[in-house]
């Protein structure tokens, strides 16, 4: 638990979120569980159900999290061309939760 909290603080440091941002990795986990887990591996270990979808724990090391934040806010289409899936648009506080979660599982 202490490690997760430290990671959340670290991510929170880089993300200039709105005042009501919660930076809650548990909430972020629930969001990606609902929206992304059918394709992406969302845990710290394991393979993606859709073998074309990179495991989420690799995002933090491949992408500056600020870029991912922008992508999430504008609706993720990058990386998803030609795949039938809804365009995701998240609220700033949801994004801060997702980034907090990605930070907590990221392989940095
Ligand atoms: C219908 C399956 C599917 C769902 C649902 C899905 N993705 Fe993806 N996603 C993919 C695939 C497949 C790729 C790889 C596409 C490629 O490489 O061209 C990908 C790539 C990505 C990438 C780029 C990763 C990289 O390293 O280049 C990001 C970021 C991403 N997805 C985020 C998300 C998030 C966040 C969610 C949930 C809100 C989500 N995806 C839901 C299938 C999905």
Q: Whose CA is nearest to atom 23 of ligand 1?
A: 79
With CA atoms as reference, report the closest residue to 40 among 27, 52, 28. Answer: 52
- Residue spans of the domains in the chain: they are 2-15+27-105
Is the separation of the CB atoms in 41 and 48 below 8 Å?
A: yes
What is the total residue count of the chain? 108
Give the pLDDT of residue 32. 92
Cβ atoms of 97 and 27 closer than 8 Å:
yes
pTM of the model: 0.75
**Dihedrals phi, psi of 29, to nearest 5 degrees:** -60, -45
Q: Which pLDDT score, from 0 to 100, does residue 18 have?
A: 47
What lines the ligand 1 site, CB under 6 Å?
32, 35-36, 38-40, 50, 52-54, 59, 62, 68, 76, 79-80, 83, 85, 88
Q: List all residues 6 or more positions away from 98 whose beta carbon is below 8 Å from its beta carbon.
A: 28, 31, 32, 72, 90
Distance CA 87, CA 80 (A): 9
Distance from residue 55's CA to the centre of ligand 1 (Å): 9
pLDDT per residue over 9-47, tens digit each? 555 444 444 445 578 999 999 999 998 999 899 999 999
How many A from CA of 69 to the centre of ligand 1?
A: 14
Task: Give residue-wise pLDDT tens across range 47-84.
Answer: 999 888 889 998 878 777 777 787 777 766 545 555 55
């Amino acid at each position: 638990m202490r490690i997760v909290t430290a990671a959340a603080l670290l991510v929170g440091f880089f993300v200039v979120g709105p005042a009501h941002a919660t930076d809650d990795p548990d909430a972020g986990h629930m969001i990606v569980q609902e929206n992304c887990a059918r394709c992406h591996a969302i845990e710290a270990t394991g393979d993606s159900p859709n073998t074309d979808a990179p495991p989420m724990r690799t995002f933090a090391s491949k992408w500056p999290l600020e870029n991912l934040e922008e992508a999430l806010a504008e609706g993720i289409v990058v990386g998803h061309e030609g795949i039938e899936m809804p365009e995701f648009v998240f609220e700033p506080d949801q994004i801060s939760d997702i980034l907090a979660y990605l930070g907590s599982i990221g392989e940095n």
